[in-house]
Amino acid sequence: MACVNADGTITPTAKALLQSLQGPLGPEEIAARTGAPLFRVRASLRELQAAGFVAESGGRFVTTDAGRAKT
Instruction: Kindly indicate which of the ranges 18-26, 32-40, 55-63 contains the residues binding another protein, using the contact rule CB under 8 A.
Output: 32-40
2 touches another protein (CB under 8 A): yes
CA pair distance 10, 32, nearest whole angstrom: 21
Q: Is 21 exposed, middle or buried (0-12, 13-18, 19+ CB in 10 A)?
A: buried
Nearest partner of 38 among 58, 19, 17, 66, judged by Cα: 17
32 touches another protein (CB under 8 A): no
Q: What amino acid occupies position 59?
A: G
How many residues sit in the footprint of another protein (CB under 8 A)? 13
Binding residue (CB under 8 A) for another protein from 16, 26, 32, 40: 40
By CB under 8 A, name the binding residues for another protein: 1-3, 28, 37-40, 42-44, 46-47
